[in-house]
Amino acid sequence: MKNDRGWLPGAREADWIESLARPLSGALAAIEAAATEGSERIPIVDRDSGRVLAALAAGRRRIVEVGTAFGYSTLWLAMGQPDDGTIVTIDPDRSRTDRARGWWREAGIADERITVVNAKALEAFAAGEPALAGPFDLAFIDALKPEYEGYLQALVPRLAPGALVVADNVLWSGRVVDRARTEPDTSALRAFDIAVLADPRFQATILPVGDGLLLAGFRG
């Protein structure tokens, strides 16, 4: 058993892993470029996290995503899914999701595979939006940080037994481990991490990938 905490993978290992990965598709590259254009930077998962999402989506036929933005994580999930898989993704910003649809089409993802709900997520769940009825076998959370706990509670009755819940930004660039940091987003993410890892309904852990990915298997 390796127990040398003095060694952690760094840039050299990340570059080697990237060298083994399949080439990035044109649509994914276009989203990465668009997310960094202009003065408004659009938050998307990092590429390493995207590859993890694609791997986790293998065999998952019904996925729900909270937070679409430019559809970068959506596309990684769709690429990992079986060809008959579907995704419901929630985001109130129609201008962003319309652009996302163009990139999904560029990547060859059929329109019927991805349903967009243009609404605030908690409001859509509370209103009983039919597209969000479930059951879902994978849920990805990457939206307003103070609402993560609310998203999870809304998702639980919509999960199939054995479903996987994934949440991004749960290490928040290391801020969550510093108890002196009490900003609203930081405090909300810290509380979310603690609650999910202690929740008997889930078998959960945190991967130090990107900005931190929480993985929670739903016991049902």
For the chain, the structural domain boundaries read 46-218
pLDDT at 171 over 70: yes
- The packing angle between helices 26-35 and 94-106, to 10°, is 150
pLDDT at 39 over 70: no
Q: For residues 54 and 135, what is the distance between their CA atoms, to the nearest angstrom?
A: 20
Q: For residues 129 and 40, what is the distance between their CA atoms, to the nearest angstrom?
A: 30
pLDDT at 6 over 80: no
45-72 pLDDT, tens per residue? 999 999 999 999 999 999 999 999 999 9
89-100 pLDDT, tens per residue? 999 999 999 999
Task: Kindly report the three-state secondary structure assignment for every residue of 78-144.
Answer: HHHCCCCCEEEEECCCHHHHHHHHHHHHHCCCCHHHEEEECCCHHHHHHCCCHHHCCCEEEEEECCC
> What is the average pLDDT across 185-192?
97
Contacts of 190-196 spanning 24+ positions with Cβ under 8 A: 191/149, 192/148, 192/149, 192/152, 192/167, 195/149, 196/152, 196/165, 196/167
Report the predicted TM-score, pTM, of the whole model to 2 decimal places: 0.95
Query: Residue 97 carries which side chain, given as an amino acid letter?
Result: T
Q: What is the reported pLDDT for 8?
A: 80
Cβ count within 10 A of residue 196? 22
pLDDT at 5 over 80: no
Polymer length of the chain: 220
Please state, rounded to an integer, the average pLDDT across all residues of the chain.
95
DSSP state of 6: T
Q: For residues 210 and 103, what is the distance between their CA atoms, to the nearest angstrom?
A: 23
139-149 pLDDT, tens per residue? 999 999 999 99
- The packing angle between helices 72-80 and 94-106, to 10°, is 40
Q: For residues 141 and 134, what is the distance between their CA atoms, to the nearest angstrom?
A: 15
Domain 46-218 classified CATH 3.30.2310.20?
Answer: no
